[in-house]
């Protein structure tokens, strides 16, 4: 049995009462007989509030979710080279007031996403549309680049290098077989919303991946499934990145980067 002084971990985000993270970690603590440890949800309206969270002397680590994966970086003491190159942090380790940022979303997404790539006979021609322009999309873009899959990011507003949703048409969907939703659109309780796409042009040749995991099957995924597309949500990614978070928090050596 692991016996520790009172320790708190938690999740930083906005509108995240739906999150499975607290349940996941509390069950893990119970299953592995880890006592005197709690996991809290820090639902804050703006990133500046994170300073008050960090004042808690019992807080030893946090996960970070939408929309603060990028904006939390200025509040950290240091950041790993990989997280810095991505520009997104989803794990913070706290040791003697030193706050170090990591990115375990990379491993979580890469592992869960590429399992289904074997479905495609000709992987060389695969291209992806990445929906969203926040910290999550930065991580997804990093992995796609690593996997040598050309991609195009889509935003609600016109930005250099970005498409807007109105640009997505039949021709584009014929060219881009992978569609990845990095936005919170469709998350509980707003389950009747989905990214604006011409779903009528989706086919069995498409792969729709939604980082949203609550509900289990978003409207984005349901629309694609009706057209025969391969679909997957972000729950496996969540579990993988959470386990990697725990490894970081419990490994004292990894703090020295």
The residues that are catalytic are 69
Which tokens in the block code for residue 255?
């703090």
The answer to whether the bond into 241 is cis (omega within 30° of 0) is no
Chain centre distance of CA 133: 13
Please state whether beta strands 34-43 and 59-64 pair in parallel, antiparallel, or not at all (unpaired).
Answer: unpaired
What count of residues does the chain have? 257
Q: What angle is formed at CA 185 by the lines to CA 119 and CA 42, rounded to 5 degrees?
A: 110
How many CB atoms are located within 10 Å of the residue 31 CB? Answer: 8
Torsion of CA 256, 236, 105, 98, to 10 degrees: -40
> For residue 120, with 0-12 CB atoms within 10 Å meaning exposed, 13-18 middle and 19 or more buried, which class applies?
middle
Q: Which residues are CB-contacts of 69 (< 8 A; sequence separation ≥ 6)? A: 88, 89, 90, 105, 134, 135, 136, 138, 139
């Amino acid at each position: 049995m692991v016996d520790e002084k009172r320790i708190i971990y938690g999740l930083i985000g906005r509108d995240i009462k739906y999150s499975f993270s607290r349940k996941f970690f509390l069950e893990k603590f119970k299953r592995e007989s880890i006592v005197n440890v709690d996991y809290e949800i820090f639902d804050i309206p703006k990133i500046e509030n994170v300073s008050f969270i960090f004042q808690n002397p019992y807080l030893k680590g946090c996960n970070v979710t939408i929309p603060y994966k990028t904006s939390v970086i200025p509040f950290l003491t240091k950041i790993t080279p990989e997280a810095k190159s991505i520009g997104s942090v989803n794990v913070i380790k706290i040791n003697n007031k030193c706050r170090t940022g990591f990115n375990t979303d990379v491993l979580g997404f890469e592992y869960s996403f590429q399992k289904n790539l074997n479905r495609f006979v000709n992987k060389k021609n695969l291209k992806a549309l990445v929906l969203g322009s926040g910290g999550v999309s930065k991580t997804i873009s990093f992995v796609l680049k690593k996997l040598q899959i050309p991609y195009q990011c889509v935003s609600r507003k016109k930005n250099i290098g970005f498409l807007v949703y109105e640009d997505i048409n039949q021709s584009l969907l014929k060219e881009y077989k992978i569609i990845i939703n990095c936005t919170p659109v469709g998350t509980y309780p707003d389950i009747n919303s989905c990214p604006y796409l011409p779903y009528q042009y989706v086919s069995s040749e498409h792969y729709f991946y939604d980082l949203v995991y609550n509900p289990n099957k978003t409207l984005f995924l349901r629309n694609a499934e009706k057209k025969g597309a391969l679909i997957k949500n972000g729950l496996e990614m969540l579990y993988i990145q959470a386990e990697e978070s725990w490894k970081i928090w419990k490994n004292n050596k990894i703090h020295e980067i």
